[in-house]
Amino acid sequence: MNAPASIFNGDEAELVSTRFTVPGMRCAGCIGKIERELPKTPGIIAARANFSAKRVAIRHDPAIDEDRLTQALRDLGFEAQRLADNPLGVETEERKSLMRALGVAGFGMMNVMLLSVSIWSGADGPTRDLFHWLSALIAMPVIAYSGRPFFASAWMALSHRRTNMDVPISIGVILATALSLYETITGGGHAYFESAVMLLFFLLAGRALDAEMRTRTRAGIGALLGRMGKSASVISPDGSTRRVAAADLEPGMLVLVAAGEAMAADGEVTEGTSAIDNAMLTGESAPEPVGPGAVVHAGAINLSAPLRIRLTRVAEDTALAEIARLMDEAGQSRSHYVRIADRASRLYAPVVHSLALLAFVGWMIAGAGWHQSLTIAIAVLIITCPCAMGLAVPAAQVVASGALLKRGLLVKDGSALERLAECDIALLDKTGTLTLGEPRADIAALDAETRTVALGLAQASRHPLSRGLAAALLREGVEPAVIDNVRETSGTGLTGQWHGQEVALERPEDTAQSLAACLRIGESTQTITFADPLRGDAAATIAALQAEGVGASILSGDRAAPVEAVARALGLEATAEASPQAKLAALEALKAQGRRPLMVGDGLNDGPALAAAHASIAPGTASDASQQAADAVFIGEKLMPVALAIRVARRTMRIVRENFGFSIAYNMLAVPLALFGLVTPLIAAIAMSVSSLVVVANSLRLARSAKTSARE
Amino acid sequence: MTGLVFLIPIALGMGLLGLGAFLWSMRDGQYDDMDGAAARILIEEDEPLEDDA
């Protein structure tokens, strides 16, 4: 093991690392296969898989380019996509700093508690003073470090003349620390260091859970993204090609788009004939033939043959960017949404602060002296500090999103769950949402021999019909026949030799039927028809939505006839031929009526509507932009996660309200004690931990309830 | 009372050791791939050895 490592040591500095996202990594076998087999490719030194994020980092010779690495992964059976150079977003950094703060607070809490328990058990005199001083020495730096997320957020809110949950927290912690320090210096009896540190620990646990939920689901969604063209091969006047990033492309450039590549800008075909897949833009599943003079848009995928394209509109001017702008504007309204925790704190904070003030004034009037009055006022602040409240929301939402994740639904954040629970009407796109969005072949008429030939041919192409046929045959357990000389002619189909006979998979003569292919073996021909079937549980999902009181209707950009057929099959109202602007207008109209629409869609034309809806869900096969605009993404062929999302979101909100009820009840018991000056640090510590534990335990019930609702 | 002179530093030292271990393991990326760690124990690492024999 040591010997080969030392040989490579000399070259170590010259190696480079490239990261890929590999969504198909699903089991331990996949990790083993990637890490063991990839280094066998010449030039690849090592591969390391990150299973949670579905990423693979490859250390390799710089001479090997991205395409060869992607090919090496594809040879192992994994679709891969290169990650941008700066994949560690702000999110991960935020989560890590929260975890560090949590670790420090945990350390401080344990040690200060150790000293406090001794004081509560009767240590007094110089021992008590010594322990108070030690507690202060540990607690002050811990509070300064771990409290930063709250102090920063509270300061931000105050400087904008607003208030949030962090304002009462920060005031409580700072006053408790200051009072305890005063008590310590003057040799007083009660110091609240452990309460202050414990409060921070529990609240940080809530924050860390919240951040964990967001990074976990974003990693899942991130693994699905990245199919959009990010660079293009520009042809120089001397005929050589070079890769240029999408942002640096200019109108007038001539680019070469290989088969299987996504367009990075809008342009006009100058040379070559091929078919393009516009599903990202229009949601239309049938491929579109293109030839010289045809206009193609960024986001379209070239399917069969290389094309030379003269760019017309790049970067910010593409049709894609236009839709992205619409989405941005539509998404503005959502940022005004106030989360339940902040709504609660708007009611809660004034009550807490006036209670503390009342206690101070009351005891002053009663003639208690300012020191005792202040001590009591601060005890009120500490006992009412929303410790369990800080956990009430994230604990429930983390459990719910974990349960939904297991059922194939990735919810982006807590705010999304809150908005999903409030939806009262659903609008569904047709292609790719109610239907699978990919052509499925009808192979019932084929016999065993033709099946093997069809698979042998279909496997050779990236055309959606070929892929749909191959997928259908592979599901039936068909073994591919070995076909020689397979050639793909753009616009016509595939030809090859099998047992000396000519075989072909072609476009049928009758071009009116666009979703069909003709299989020819020697002289005999057979037509294979394709359909874009409804998702198996579409009707059941609509029924489940209606059971929750959410009425559904179809809002599609597709032609009227197919939309009508689906609407009749499901018994829904439908609007067809809606442009992105029309979809947006339909949603705005609903919102103006006071409804809270849920939008479910996949195409880029749904993007603005997804961003404008009260809440939105996109399938995992949706365009990147749509997945980014949506609040949740569901994976797989089932539509049921959509109904499940609503049901679980509503249960989550019920649990959240219960949690609020519990923590307020605890505080109500403790506040009279505090007001009469009976709260010792011991009582404060017990009230705080018991209420937090009750809230967490109550939230854990959600893990079961999501499971049972899936079984129904 | 004199026992405290030893016991408190020991308690603090152990706490700091734990905190240090936690911060180090986080920086080292031990928590970056929790699902992967669970799956990795299932990988047969012995296969190449069988080939050699």
DSSP string, A326-353: HHHHHHGGGGGPPPHHHHHHHHHHHHHH
The predicted pLDDT at position A516 comes to 74
Place A517 in a pLDDT band, splitting at 50, 70 and 90: confident
CA distance A13 to chain B (A): 21
CA distance B13 to chain A (A): 10
CATH number for position A554 = 3.40.50.1000
B33 neighbourhood in chain A, CB within 8 Å: 50-53
User: Greater confidence, B16 or A85?
Assistant: B16
Spatial contact of A19 and A13, defined as CB atoms under 8 Å apart: no
Q: Above 0.90 for ipTM, yes or no?
A: no
| Residue A650 to residue A643: CA distance in whole angstroms | 11
| Residue A694 to residue A660: CA distance in whole angstroms | 11
Phi, psi (degrees; rounded to nearest 5) at A629: -75, -30
Place A221 in a pLDDT band, splitting at 50, 70 and 90: low
Q: What is the mean pLDDT of chain A?
A: 79
Cβ <8 Å between B33 and A134? no
* Neighbouring residues of B10: CB distance < 8 A, sequence distance ≥ 6: none
From the list A28, A96, A110, the residue facing B15 with the nearest CB is A110
CATH number for position A33 = 3.30.70.100
Q: By the CB < 8 Å criterion, does A99 face chain B? A: yes
Cβ <8 Å between B26 and A51? no
Edge-first strand listing for the sheet containing A516-521: A440-441, A524-531, A516-521, A501-506, A493-498, A484-489
Same domain, A369 and A250: no
pLDDT tops 70 at residue B25: yes
Same domain, A423 and A554: yes
pLDDT tops 80 at residue A6: no
Q: State in Å, rounded, how far the first CA of chain A is from the last one.
A: 54
Domain for residue A7, yes or no? no
As given in the structure block, the two tokens for residue B20 are 């240090």
Counting DSSP H helices and E strands in chain A, the numbers are: 23, 26
Per residue in A138-184, pLDDT (tens digit) is: 999 999 999 999 999 889 988 988 777 788 788 888 988 998 898 89
Domain for residue A88, yes or no? no
Count how many domains chain A has. Answer: 5
User: Greater confidence, A11 or A321?
Assistant: A321
pLDDT tops 80 at residue A710: no
Could you tell me which of A137, A251, A117 has the C-alpha nearest to residue A184? A137
pLDDT tops 60 at residue A553: yes
Domain boundary among the residues A82, A106, A136 is at A82
pLDDT tops 50 at residue A358: yes
The predicted pLDDT at position A1 comes to 38
In A73-217, at which residue ranges do the beta strands (DSSP E only) sit?
A: 81-82
Place A51 in a pLDDT band, splitting at 50, 70 and 90: confident
From the list A27, A29, A107, the residue facing B19 with the nearest CB is A107
Place B17 in a pLDDT band, splitting at 50, 70 and 90: very high
Same domain, A367 and A382: yes
The predicted pLDDT at position A229 comes to 58
A99 neighbourhood in chain B, CB within 8 Å: 26, 31
- The DSSP letter of residue A317 is G
Same domain, A217 and A339: yes
Domain for residue A461, yes or no? yes
Place A608 in a pLDDT band, splitting at 50, 70 and 90: confident
pLDDT tops 90 at residue A271: no
In the set A166, A210, A277, A429, the catalytic residue is: A429
* Neighbouring residues of A464: CB distance < 8 A, sequence distance ≥ 6: A277, A285, A286, A287, A303, A438, A439
- The DSSP letter of residue A316 is G
Same domain, A347 and A200: yes
Based on the residue annotation, tell me whether A75 is a catalytic residue of this protein: no
A114 neighbourhood in chain B, CB within 8 Å: 11
pLDDT tops 70 at residue A362: yes
Q: By the CB < 8 Å criterion, does A653 face chain B? A: no
The predicted pLDDT at position A175 comes to 86
The predicted pLDDT at position A280 comes to 62
The predicted pLDDT at position A398 comes to 85
The angle at the Cα of A242, spanning A237 to A244, to the nearest 5 degrees, equals 110
User: In sequence order, what DSSP letters do the residues of B1-53 get, joined into one string?
Assistant: -HHHHHHHHHHHHHHHHHHHHHHHHHHTTTTTTHHHHHHHTTS---HHHHHH-
User: Greater confidence, A48 or A13?
Assistant: A48
Domain for residue A344, yes or no? yes
Place A230 in a pLDDT band, splitting at 50, 70 and 90: low
The predicted pLDDT at position A155 comes to 92
Q: Which domain holds residue A486?
A: 440-531
pLDDT tops 80 at residue A26: no
Same domain, A502 and A488: yes
As given in the structure block, the two tokens for residue A245 are 């990033």
The predicted pLDDT at position A429 comes to 86
Interval A115-141 mean pLDDT: 89
pLDDT tops 80 at residue A672: yes
Q: Which range has the top average pLDDT, A249-258, A415-424, A458-467, A627-636?
A: A415-424
pLDDT tops 80 at residue A97: yes
User: Greater confidence, A90 or A666?
Assistant: A666
B11 neighbourhood in chain A, CB within 8 Å: 111, 114
Spatial contact of A619 and A337, defined as CB atoms under 8 Å apart: no
pLDDT tops 80 at residue A346: no
The predicted pLDDT at position A145 comes to 95
Domain boundary among the residues A24, A58, A82 is at A82
Interval A176-199 mean pLDDT: 87
Interval A669-696 mean pLDDT: 81
Cβ <8 Å between B22 and A111? no
Q: How many angstroms separate the Cα of A313 from the Cα of each of A243, A265, A298, A623, A678?
A: 18, 6, 9, 20, 73
Written in H, E and C, the secondary structure of A641-675 is HHHHHHHHHHHHHHHHHHHHHHHHHHHHHHHHHHH
* Neighbouring residues of A560: CB distance < 8 A, sequence distance ≥ 6: A576, A577
pLDDT tops 80 at residue A477: no
Domain boundary among the residues A630, A650, A670 is at A650
User: Greater confidence, A209 or A650?
Assistant: A650
Find where tokens 């299973």 sit.
Answer: A51
Same domain, A502 and A601: no
Return the percentage of chain A with pLDDT > 90, whole number.
Answer: 6
Place A510 in a pLDDT band, splitting at 50, 70 and 90: low
Give the orientation angle of helix A166-186 with respect to helix A370-384, to 10 degrees. Answer: 140
Domain for residue A87, yes or no? no
Q: Half-sphere exposure of A248 toward its Cβ, with a 13 Å CA cutoff?
A: 8
Same domain, A189 and A311: no
Same domain, A168 and A118: yes
b/e burial code for range A128-145 (CB count within 10 A of at least 16 → b) = beebbebbbebbbebbee
Same domain, A258 and A348: no
Place A218 in a pLDDT band, splitting at 50, 70 and 90: low
Domain for residue A6, yes or no? no
pLDDT tops 50 at residue A609: yes
Domain for residue A279, yes or no? yes
Same domain, A131 and A207: yes
The predicted pLDDT at position A106 comes to 93
Domain for residue A226, yes or no? no
pLDDT tops 80 at residue A31: yes
B34 neighbourhood in chain A, CB within 8 Å: 52
Provide the Cα torsion A221, A227, A231, A236; round to 10°.
170
CA distance B36 to chain A (A): 4
pLDDT tops 90 at residue A299: no
What residue of A is the nearest CA neighbor of B4?
A127
| Residue A623 to residue A224: CA distance in whole angstroms | 9
The predicted pLDDT at position A666 comes to 79
Interface of B with A in 14-53 (CB under 8 A): 15-16, 18-19, 22-23, 26, 31-36, 39-44, 47
As given in the structure block, the two tokens for residue A8 are 């490579």
Phi, psi (degrees; rounded to nearest 5) at A137: -65, -35
CATH number for position A494 = 3.40.1110.10
pLDDT tops 50 at residue A4: no
Cβ <8 Å between A104 and B19? yes
As given in the structure block, the two tokens for residue B15 are 């706490």
Same domain, A606 and A550: yes
Beta bridge partners of A48: A57
